[in-house]
Structure 1
Amino acid sequence: MNSARSYPDPVAVGTLLRHVLELLDGDVAKVYEEQGLAEYRPRFSPAVRALLAEGPLSVRDLATTVGVTHSAASQTAAQMARAGLVTHAPDPLDARRRLVDLTPKARALLPRIEAEWEATVAAMAELDTELSMPLGELLREVAEALDRRPFRERVAAAYRGRQ
């Protein structure tokens, strides 16, 4: 390549998506670190926002609310617990379930977290002006298309067509 920066092959879409996510999340993490929130991760914000809006949630409900897998929500909640940002307590209505809730430490950080979130939204809006279409809209379109026909089916059909 002639450019000073090397990018993943655009045909390797998964690699390119991970690269873009690393660029976005990595820079947001640096902002948190610069603001004295080194233990806070960008992946915590959707969970914080869900817990603020809904109150204590089971990991399953947190996953549904945030739009991630149960495993991803469980990992995020565990990381947040290690950082002292959430607790896991028995559900008073169902002792088999545990509820994730924000700690006083997390609530004390909310003004800084919310300010960073607003700055991130503004920065994303600025980035969107440089793109042919807003990134969030494109990703939503991709998710909807994959809901209609999973990628596994598309790959299998293309594979069968080559045999």
Structure 2
Amino acid sequence: MTSDSPGPHRSPGPELLGTRLRHLLDRLEAGVEAVYTDLGMDGFRPRYTPVARALAAAPGPCSIRELAQATGVTHSAASQTVAQMAKDGLVVLAPGDDARRRMVRLTPEAEQLLPALNAEWEATSAAAAEFEAELPYPLSRLIGEALEALDRRPMRQRIADRAALGPGPAAV
């Protein structure tokens, strides 16, 4: 391998962006899931923790919309996470004041996990900061900027614009 050759984890270019991002997320989540297993919480998923912490911090049950806002995900993503947490016995759903609104609260079993989850959250935050310090640019900042860029101009529009130009390298 020459000094110009990419390392085993270097992407050849943006064409594999989605694949590489999924691989990165899989590796990050696998590490967190292993910690949950070490703590005796087999099957607990990393995406549950922000929801559990948001519910614990709230003065009462929360709607799916409130959880989506508190955790920074879409309503659909929050709804899917809550449905899986309900299936796993971690939350209970009840009708809200309007038929379209469902209210979510932690089960006693989930409440018992909160001290371990809070300790894990602190350790994970510290480990993430250490990880970012090894990178030339903080990943959390890059993700935020990438999301803002997609808010300004969604990927669908970017692809449509490129397709309209025909084959060839992207214009600079």
On whether the aligned pair clears a TM of 0.5, the verdict is: yes
CA RMSD of the aligned region, Å? 2.2
Aligned position for 1:67: 72
> Any conservation in 2 of the 1:85–1:103 contact (CA below 8 Å)?
yes
**Runs of 4+ with >4 A deviation:** 1-10
Aligned position for 1:22: 26
Aligned position for 1:132: 136
Gaps of 5+ in 1: none
Give the partner amino acid of 1:103.
Answer: T
Deviation, structure 1 residue 51? 1.4
Aligned position for 1:90: 95
> Any conservation in 2 of the 1:8–1:15 contact (CA below 8 Å)?
no
Query: How do 1:134-153 residues align onto structure 2 when only pairs under 5 Å count?
Result: 134-153=138-157
Local SS of the residue matching 1:94? coil
Give the partner amino acid of 2:75.
Answer: H
| Residue 99, structure 1, aligned to residue 117, structure 2 | no
Give the partner amino acid of 2:36.
Answer: Y
Give the partner amino acid of 1:155.
Answer: I
Give the partner amino acid of 2:62.
Answer: L
> Any conservation in 1 of the 2:90–2:109 contact (CA below 8 Å)?
yes
| Residue 81, structure 1, aligned to residue 86, structure 2 | yes
Give the partner amino acid of 2:154.
Answer: P
Give the partner amino acid of 1:35.
Answer: L
Task: Please say which structure displays the higher CA radius of gyration.
Answer: 2
Render the CA deviation track for 1:12-39: whole Å, top value 9, x for unaligned.
1011110000000011001101110012
* Cα distance in 2 for residues equivalent to 1:31 and 1:157: 44
Deviation, structure 1 residue 5? 5.5
Render the CA deviation track for 1:115-150: whole Å, top value 9, x for unaligned.
111111011011111101111011001011111111
* Cα distance in 2 for residues equivalent to 1:67 and 1:61: 10
Identity of aligned residues (%): 52
> Any conservation in 1 of the 2:6–2:12 contact (CA below 8 Å)?
no
* Cα distance in 2 for residues equivalent to 1:9 and 1:80: 38
TM-score (norm 1): 0.88
Aligned position for 2:52: 48
Shift in CA distance, 10/117, structure 1 to aligned 2, threshold 3 Å: farther
* Cα distance in 2 for residues equivalent to 1:96 and 1:122: 39
TM-score (norm 2): 0.84
Gaps of 5+ in 2: 168-172
| Residue 162, structure 1, aligned to residue 161, structure 2 | no
